Amino acid sequence: MQTRGIEVSQLYTLVRDTTNLTGVQAKILDHMQVALQCASDISKSQVYLCARGKNEDISVILTAVKPSYTHGSTFFSAGDTFLVDDLAIVDNVFQTGRKVVGRKELDQGREIAVTAYPIVDNAGRPFAVVCFASVSLSQQQVLTDTANLALQVPFAGKDYYSIRPQDGVIILDAAGRIMYANDMADDLYLVLDKEAIEQRDIIGHTIVHFPLVDEVMKTGRPAFSDEVSENMTLSAWGLPIISGGWVTRTVIVLTDVTAIREKERQILVKDSVIKEIHHRVKNSLNTIAGMLRMQARRSKDEDTKEALKRAVSRILGISKIHDILANQSGDQVDMDVLLDKICKLSVDSLALCPVDVVREKGRRPLIVNSEKAVPLAIATNELIHNAIDHGFHKMPRGTLVVGTEIDHGRLHVSIKNNGHPLPEDFSTRTFDLGLQIVRNLAEIELKGEFGLKNEDSMVVADIYCPLALMEA
């Protein structure tokens, strides 16, 4: 979870420009900042860090965070200043060094509930205040107390979870007894603990048979797990609240992920089926290629042999594409990754001279539908084979440039080679079989365009197809 509070540089700037806090005290506030969003979510309150200004009669708001599931702005903003009398609750905390509960009247005449806690330095002196403010005048102190404790020993940002309104929240004491549970938690927890059904009011109930709780209490580290009960799957996140070196409370967040996990399972099954299909197609094509090789060896006609060899080459090219797709996951294919492999396989297996392969890629990934990736890959493979067979025929060395880009809503694949140029009387109407296959794939299967021309010192083949079709 990313910290939604004020950036570190801004915090330090405010501390430097508006307060007399020391560098050590500023670091303490900075350290707390990573847990502010979680504290706001747990407490259902906006959270503010406040300190005395350079003028002791002024209080400064250093950070303002609201619950992640709420909209609108915070009551106050970072950098706002107030006279001491206007934030009497904050002044009271500085005076007493203890928690203070009260109310604050806004400009609009509305009142908000405020619970404020001292932030102390290594010498035990209060140097700042954390305030939990809510429009609900009946703040639940167990939530604000827990959230304040969570700020004292923060973890890394990645260890936190953004609580949502549909989540069940449970707070346990050091003995594993439930101190707090929201309405959603009541229903979700009863799915996991059938023994709690009889008492229905789960407050005071000791959680048992919940491995996540044991793990969090034992390790003192946040943890995630899935809990399965009958036909329901719950995602659980546990946050230890550490005080005095011990886990004094534990926050458990439960989320019903039954539908999500079922969808993930279906995707895995579908992915496995697709991989198996690609694998079987590859094997079938290899079998056909083997039969054609056998026929070519037995043929006495040289033209027939050459035609069969070209057919074998095309079939093996298609087989390679299905082999590559069999090792990818999902319905979407990264076209650049696919073309990288096709280029390498084609050059390694066909080139009779050294070929320098250059890949030109656009800035954005080319993620296309796997069904459309196949004809595009076959067409590109055929053009690469054509460049190697004809363009570099009897040449000492060649350069092959394969580029991809997005051009005005179209996917553009270009294959360039510096081999033998096209003859002057070349016409798209006289395409041989290989180029005819490419044209049919581009125009019929991909609803696009295909062109072949001499350009400067290169032979350039272009395939254009609608991007919307490729991504659908």
DSSP for residue 170? E
The pLDDT value given to residue 345: 77
The pLDDT value given to residue 129: 95
Q: Quick one: tokens of 240?
A: 């230890």
Architecture label for domain 168-256: 2-Layer Sandwich (3.30)
Beta-sheet strands, E only, within 154-245: 168-173, 178-181, 223-229, 232-243
Q: CB neighbours (10 Å) of residue 335?
A: 22
Kind and range of the H or E element at 31? helix 23-33
| Number of residues that this document lists for the chain | 472
* Cα 464 to Cα 441: distance, rounded to the nearest angstrom: 11
Q: CB neighbours (10 Å) of residue 446?
A: 21
Judging by beta carbons within 10 Å of its beta carbon (0-12, 13-18, 19+), is residue 414 exposed, middle or buried?
buried
Question: Measured over all CA atoms, what is the biggest interatomic distance in the chain, rounded to whole angstroms?
Answer: 105
Question: Would you say residue 272 has pLDDT above 80?
Answer: no
Q: Quick one: tokens of 454?
A: 């001499």
Pairing of strands 410-417, 398-407: antiparallel
The pLDDT value given to residue 194: 57
Question: Would you say residue 136 has pLDDT above 60?
Answer: yes
Write the DSSP string, 90-157. Answer: HHHHHHHSS-EEEEEE-TTS-EEEEEEEEEE-TTS-EEEEEEEEES-SS--HHHHHHHHHHHHS---G
The pLDDT value given to residue 202: 76
Residue among 139, 134, 314, 159 at smallest CA distance from 223: 159
Question: Would you say residue 436 has pLDDT above 50?
Answer: yes
Which residue's structure tokens are 């996991």? 192
Q: What are phi and psi of 72, to 5 degrees?
A: 85, -175
Q: What are phi and psi of 274, to 5 degrees?
A: -60, -45
* Cα 53 to Cα 30: distance, rounded to the nearest angstrom: 18
Name the band, by pLDDT with cuts 50, 70 and 90, for residue 447. very high
User: 151-167: per-residue pLDDT in tens?
Assistant: 999 998 889 988 888 89
From the DSSP assignment, how many helices (H) and strands (E) are in the chain? 13, 18
Write the DSSP string, 371-392. Answer: HHHHHHHHHHHHHHHHIIIIIT
Question: Would you say residue 361 has pLDDT above 80?
Answer: yes
The pLDDT value given to residue 449: 92
User: 19-59: per-residue pLDDT in tens?
Assistant: 999 989 998 998 898 999 999 999 999 999 999 999 989 99
Kind and range of the H or E element at 17? helix 8-18
State in words which class domain 8-155 has.
alpha beta
Q: Do 402 and 440 touch, CB atoms closer than 8 A?
A: no
Which residue's structure tokens are 């073309």? 339
Q: What are phi and psi of 9, to 5 degrees?
A: -60, -40
Question: Would you say residue 7 has pLDDT above 50?
Answer: no
Q: CB neighbours (10 Å) of residue 454?
A: 13
DSSP-derived 3-state class of residue 45? coil
* Cα 413 to Cα 388: distance, rounded to the nearest angstrom: 17
Domain ranges of the chain: 8-155, 168-256, 257-330, 332-472
Question: Would you say residue 5 has pLDDT above 50?
Answer: no
Q: Quick one: tokens of 246?
A: 């011990």
The pLDDT value given to residue 107: 75
Name the band, by pLDDT with cuts 50, 70 and 90, for residue 471. confident
Q: Quick one: tokens of 52?
A: 């005395």
Q: CB neighbours (10 Å) of residue 300?
A: 6
The pLDDT value given to residue 71: 86
* One-letter amino acid for residue 109 of the chain: G
Q: Quick one: tokens of 209?
A: 């048979």
Residue among 433, 441, 429, 435 at smallest CA distance from 459: 435
Q: CB neighbours (10 Å) of residue 265?
A: 10
Residue range 344-349: mean pLDDT, rounded: 79
Mean pLDDT in the chain? 85
Query: What's the predicted TM-score (pTM) here?
Result: 0.61
Question: Would you say residue 64 has pLDDT above 50?
Answer: yes
Which residues sit opposite 368 in a β-bridge?
333
Residue among 246, 248, 237, 181 at smallest CA distance from 210: 237
Residue among 194, 246, 196 at smallest CA distance from 216: 246
Q: 310-323 burial string, b = 16+ CB within 10 Å, else e?
A: bbbbbbbbbbbbbb
Domains 8-155 and 168-256 share a fold: yes
C-alpha count within 13 angstroms, C-beta hemisphere, residue 28? 21
Which residue's structure tokens are 């070209």? 310
State in words which class domain 332-472 has.
alpha beta
User: 92-129: per-residue pLDDT in tens?
Assistant: 999 999 999 999 988 777 889 999 999 998 888 899 99
**Range with the largest mean pLDDT of 74-78, 120-124, 306-310:** 74-78
